Structure 1
Amino acid sequence: MADPYQALGVAKGASEKEIKSAYRKLAKELHPDRNKDNPAATERFSEVTKAYDLLLDKDKRAQFDRGEIDADGNPTAPFGFGGGAGGYGGGAGSQQFDFGNSGADFGDIFEGLFGGGGRSSPFGSRPRNAPPPKGANVSYRLKVEFVAAATLDKQRITLEDGKTIDLSLPKGVEEGTQMRLAGKGRSGPGGNGDALVTIHINPHPFFERDGNNVTLELPISLAEAVNGGKIKVPTVDGPVMLSIPAGASSGKTLRLKNKGFHTKTGGRGDQLVTLMIALPEDDAKLKEFVSTWENADNPRSFMGV
């Protein structure tokens, strides 16, 4: 992947807000749903999403800035370590492995090098009557689509041994939620370690999250604003009909109950729909109408101007 800053078109010192804004703009333009016949756009969408993932992770961003990892998140250290085609991998980029904190028992290795058998070593030794250690835990990073996280769709994850699991997302899932899969780590004398799955929720081209609510800026035509009526609106559960009140202004927010994220207590948030009047560019008939329309109202009067 290219330099993540260049991929998003932001400066190296860009703030989190600037990174999110740049990604949102590119995601709307390049999203596969809008470019079904343009594979180049789909490839570019994947590239900017990877760049966004890296730069929004503070630790990985710092590692990249220090030159410790490359733009794909693989270590740049010598001695042949790192990811790439030879490393472990899941299915179609659905998760990443991080063995940096796997919890492996290096004491056993050093005991073997320095005499073992319960004798003291420069790194200490395990008591003779201690239970045998479990295998190492394995960390995974699972990317979940925004809508799937809101609706708790099951997610398939591929473990490092090649086995797959259909994972049920927990209620209240959010960015950084960690799930522990007991016994799904590496094997050891005392049994298997665990799999630690950290959830990363991909941004959506037009939905955003506000707590357990989903927010949406909805473009409406001038006629729809003036006359009102029912229009079709996207939600995480699929399109629904929404009643627009006559005389609606840009910025008016309407609420769709129970169309948000599932809460930890079992309920659901709402979808908050903010109306945005979209005027056509250079419309001759509209200009003619406005030129003859007499309206003495001053919409800025409350500001004292």
Structure 2
Amino acid sequence: MAADPYATLGVARSASEKDIKSAYRKLAKELHPDRNTDNPNAAERFSEVTRAYDLLSDKDKRAQFDRGEIDGDGNPMGFGGGGFGGGGHQGFGGGGFQSEGIDLGDLFGGIFGGRGQGSGPGASFGGARSRAAPRGNTLQYRLSVSLTDAAKLAPQRVTLGDGKSIDLKLPAGVEDGTQMRLGGKGEPGPGGAGDAIVTIQIEPHAFFKRDGDNLRLDLPISLDEAVGGAKVKVPTVDGAVMLTVAPGSSSGKTLRLKGKGMSRKDGSRGDQLVTLEIHLPESDEDLIRRLEGWQDTRPLRAKLGV
């Protein structure tokens, strides 16, 4: 005699569609064959709860069962357990279980992850047959990257949730918030492992400031370097370089170092913009004596109207 589908799922006859689906999700998660390889009875129970859900999730079949027109296997009452022609459902040992009216790939998406990459209606689902075996869950990672590494696209060593480490190549034009998808590096699932999503977080730098594809740097210079000119050492993300300061340079003057900025999407690099800042010593008696009697008579603030 066919089992009562309500009893099989453990729900009342007045249960809503939501209650029925929730009960099935819980049981299917517990009884899924891939999680019960050492329990041969799990496959049979999984088959039973799936048949019960097939019937109760179909409004017409549920109504027919409630009226006593069909049994728990969906066979018309009074025509024998096999129904018309004795077809009926087959268990896991009888040629595979064909779920009717339910997309197992969609249903298990909330349990094991998104829809899998199975081969359609005939895809194997741990001994059952389904439309698509679901892949494992997508895993989310956040990777902190230094500004200098982001500019140079330096390889990053990443340790995943399974403890394995991989070398990650940053994409050209990487920015704060850029996401990278690692295929097959997520949680395992019946239809294969899911993916991993790595979100890049670029850390602020002590003295470099990003400006689009360029990097900005405020460079302190002395009064004598500004007045007489000089060659000064300047830091870049690629290492220090020598920069020529022309005689008579003022604070605020900006010099350009080509190709020393951030990576662009086309593979090129932006520039580094170096702004000069003249730093005067405090209470330098020698400097005061040297400037005694000298005065700059240029109208430096005339354009400001003062």
TM above 0.5: yes
Q: Matched residue pairs, number?
A: 199
- 1:143-199 superposed Cα distances (whole Å, 9 cap, x missing partner): 001101111110000001000001010100010000000000010000000010000
2:192 partner letter: G
Q: Which residue of 1 aligns with 2:274?
A: 273
Q: CA deviation at 1:287?
A: 2.3
Q: CA deviation at 1:116?
A: 3.8
Is 1:126 the counterpart of 2:42? The answer is no
Residues 113/133 of structure 1: CA separation in 2 closer, same or farther (3 Å cut)? closer
Q: Which residue of 1 aligns with 2:50?
A: 117
Whether the 8 Å contact between 1:222 and 1:278 is mirrored in structure 2 is yes
- Structure 2 Cα separation of the partners of residues 280 and 272 of structure 1: 25
- Structure 1 Cα separation of the partners of residues 150 and 166 of structure 2: 17
Whichever of the two has the greater Rg, that structure is 2
- Structure 1 Cα separation of the partners of residues 24 and 285 of structure 2: 81
- 1:229-261 superposed Cα distances (whole Å, 9 cap, x missing partner): 211100011000111011111110000000011
Q: CA deviation at 1:126?
A: 3.1
1:132-143 equivalences in 2 (<5 Å): 132-143=133-144
1:151-190 equivalences in 2 (<5 Å): 151-190=152-191
- Structure 1 Cα separation of the partners of residues 168 and 151 of structure 2: 15
Residues 287/297 of structure 1: CA separation in 2 closer, same or farther (3 Å cut)? same
Q: CA deviation at 1:107?
A: 9.5
Q: CA deviation at 1:108?
A: 7.3
SS of equivalent to 1:117: helix
2:266 partner letter: T
Residues 278/125 of structure 1: CA separation in 2 closer, same or farther (3 Å cut)? farther
SS of equivalent to 2:303: helix
Whether the 8 Å contact between 2:179 and 2:197 is mirrored in structure 1 is yes
RMSD of aligned Cα (Å): 2.3
Q: CA deviation at 1:110?
A: 3.0
- Structure 2 Cα separation of the partners of residues 267 and 131 of structure 1: 43
1:117 partner letter: T
Is 1:219 the counterpart of 2:220? The answer is yes
SS of equivalent to 2:287: helix
Q: Which residue of 2 aligns with 1:33?
A: none
- Structure 2: gaps spanning 5 or more residues: 1-21, 31-47, 58-100, 105-128
Whether the 8 Å contact between 2:258 and 2:271 is mirrored in structure 1 is yes
Q: CA deviation at 1:112?
A: 2.6
Work out the percentage of aligned pairs sharing the same amino acid: 54
Whether the 8 Å contact between 1:154 and 1:166 is mirrored in structure 2 is yes
- 1:9-44 superposed Cα distances (whole Å, 9 cap, x missing partner): xxxxxxxxxxxxxxxxxxxxxxxxxxxxxxxxxxxx
Whether the 8 Å contact between 1:111 and 1:117 is mirrored in structure 2 is no
SS of equivalent to 2:292: helix
Between 1:280-289 and 1:108-117, the stretch displaced more is 108-117
- Structure 1 Cα separation of the partners of residues 231 and 29 of structure 2: 76
- Structure 2 Cα separation of the partners of residues 208 and 171 of structure 1: 19
